[in-house]
């Protein structure tokens, strides 16, 4: 079942739900410039066995409104969009799973709208806290000095996308991006990545990738105090091969979010290949079952 949601003046979001209508609701929040289909159908199906799973296209992705150039917005507005999605589906409180930028938006919800969350699961993201990371030996690392993205990814992101890029070349570029994001431990399934991106392009109706989320204002996102006072059950997923937020970012999240606990999905990078669907879904379901 799908529907459009009016999230803000001039902003409509495409959303869809899977699973029993009377099951505990679970909201999936994808990363920057990633639409709802960034959550693989097989993974959504595993969660939908016990949840009403809602996923949606951020603004400037998929079938949602593309309007950043006319109406710029801050990243914090994307968190308010998530609240609008819950409202539209009649959900008072949901389990929330956020990946990458989606994990940051989930932290904004923890801080600003804790009454709307049953639990939160954070995957492949960094903490919205300026608190230093405490090493096991007792020394500290300032938050801003934690490791950044892998050099190969930074080089990829620095390459300008030609104005005249054709659909085939754009598809190749996206597959290469997923190869880098997946890390260097689990085998990379290029055919699966290509098939998913073909579906995303077909659903979006355009093949050129957007850049709105990279240009959006990121100020006002520090939630150090609120996260330290958190009362919502939080699960942090450690992806040891993540080239975007490598360890100790997951450990830093656990330190800065009160009551958070950590689990590891071996070999996982900054992507959702089939090999991680079962263990990741199992971890999310166990976490949500404890608090449903």
Q: Which of 18, 58, 95, 100 is catalytic?
A: 100
What are the tens digits of pLDDT across the range 55-92?
999 999 999 999 999 999 999 999 999 999 999 999 99
CA distances (Å), origin 214, targets 31, 33, 54, 157, 210: 11, 8, 24, 11, 9
Looking at the chain, list the stretches that DSSP marks H as alpha helix, in order from N- to C-terminal side: 41-48, 76-88, 101-112, 151-158, 167-181, 190-204, 212-215, 224-228, 249-256, 274-289
Active-site residue among 18, 58, 252, 270? 270
The verdict on whether 177 is a catalytic residue reads no
Q: Mean pLDDT over residues 203-207, rounded?
A: 92
C-alpha torsion sign, points 228, 237, 46, 64: positive
Kindly give, in sequence order, each residue whose CB lies less than 8 Å from that of residue 41, ignoring residues fewer than 6 positions away.
none
163 counts as catalytic: no
Per-residue confidence band for 292, with pLDDT thresholds at 50, 70 and 90: low
Retrieve residue 234's tokens: 């939080």
What is the phi/psi pair of residue 43, to 5°?
Answer: -70, -45
Catalytic residue of the set 64, 127, 242, 287: 242
91-110 pLDDT, tens digit per residue, is 999 999 999 999 999 999 99
Q: Tell me, yes or no, if 242 is annotated catalytic.
A: yes
Q: How far apart are CA 261 and CA 202, in angstroms?
A: 38
List the domains of the chain with CATH numbers: 2-289 (3.40.50.1820)
Give residue-wise pLDDT tens across range 229-241. Answer: 999 999 999 999 9
């Amino acid at each position: 079942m799908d529907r459009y949601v009016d999230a803000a003046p001039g902003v409509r979001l495409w959303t869809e739900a899977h699973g029993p209508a009377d099951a505990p609701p679970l909201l999936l929040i994808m990363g920057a410039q990633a639409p709802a289909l960034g959550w693989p159908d097989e993974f959504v199906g595993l969660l939908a066995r016990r949840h009403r799973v809602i996923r949606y296209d951020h603004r400037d992705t998929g079938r949602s409104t593309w309007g950043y150039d006319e109406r710029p917005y801050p990243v914090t507005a994307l968190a308010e969009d998530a609240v609008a999605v819950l409202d539209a589906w009649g959900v008072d409180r949901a389990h929330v799973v956020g990946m990458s930028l989606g994990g940051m938006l989930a932290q904004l919800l923890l801080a600003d709208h804790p009454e709307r969350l049953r639990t939160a699961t954070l995957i492949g993201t960094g903490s919205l806290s300026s608190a230093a990371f405490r090493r096991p030996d007792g020394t500290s690392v300032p938050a801003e000095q934690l490791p950044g993205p892998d050099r190969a990814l930074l080089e990829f992101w620095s390459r300008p996308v030609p104005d005249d890029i054709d659909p085939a070349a754009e598809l190749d570029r996206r597959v290469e991006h997923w190869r880098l994001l997946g890390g260097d431990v689990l085998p990379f399934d290029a055919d699966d990545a290509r098939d998913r991106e073909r579906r995303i392009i077909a659903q979006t109706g355009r093949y050129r990738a957007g850049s709105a989320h990279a240009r959006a204002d990121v100020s006002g996102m520090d939630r150090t105090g609120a996260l330290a006072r958190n009362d919502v059950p939080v699960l942090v997923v450690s992806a040891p091969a993540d080239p975007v937020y490598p360890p100790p970012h997951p450990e830093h999240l656990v330190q800065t979010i009160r009551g958070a606990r950590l689990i590891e999905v071996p070999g996982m990078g900054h992507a959702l290949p089939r090999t991680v669907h079962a263990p990741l879904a199992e971890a999310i379901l166990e976490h949500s079952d404890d608090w449903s």
